[in-house]
Amino acid sequence: MMRGERIPVAVTVWVEEGVAPLVCALNELPGVVTVASSEGGPEQLAYVRFRRCDGDVAELAVAIGSQLAEHASSLGYELRTRVTSGRPVLELACTAHQVLPLALAVRAFGRAAEEGRVVDPAGHGLGLGAPTLSAEPRLRSVSAR
């Protein structure tokens, strides 16, 4: 049997209610998939771990980091790089009361990226869509790992 090309599909998974807006916002970014999340607790930050579908997180880290620094600097958040199961992922973390404002900032970043308004420090546009997804309707999945 011949293996076909991989295509994006939408799935439903259960995530903690307190972090759901940020999970959804990150999954709306072209070529991005979330891989883990937690709404945190009294002494812990809420977080969402995510990566690009092609596995390259460096360009995504620069793009989202610079955009959030410029437009969401008043929000308390942390953008970190992690390695999970041997794969690099980004982790966006914040206090519980900052989840919704941060999710709105991520959505604004996504709109700016789609319109070509997100650039790296050298002035080059940062496209987020994986080549296999660019011509297809963007359906995103959330992984419950």
Helix 99-114 × helix 20-27 angle, to 10°: 10
Does position 122 have pLDDT exceeding 70, yes or no?
A: no
User: What pLDDT is attached to residue 74?
Assistant: 86
Q: What percent of the chain has pLDDT over 70?
A: 79
Residue 135 Rama label (left phi>0; alpha psi -120 to 50; beta): alpha
Q: Identify the weakest region by mean pLDDT among 16-20, 36-40, 107-111.
A: 107-111
Please tell me the predicted confidence (pLDDT) of residue 141.
38
Domain architecture of the chain: domains with CATH: 32-114 (3.30.70)
Nearest of 50, 106, 108 to residue 80 by alpha carbon? 50
What pTM does this model have?
A: 0.76
Is pLDDT at 63 greater than 50 in this prediction? yes
pLDDT of residue 143: 39
- For the chain, the residue count is 145
Residue 120 one-letter amino acid: D
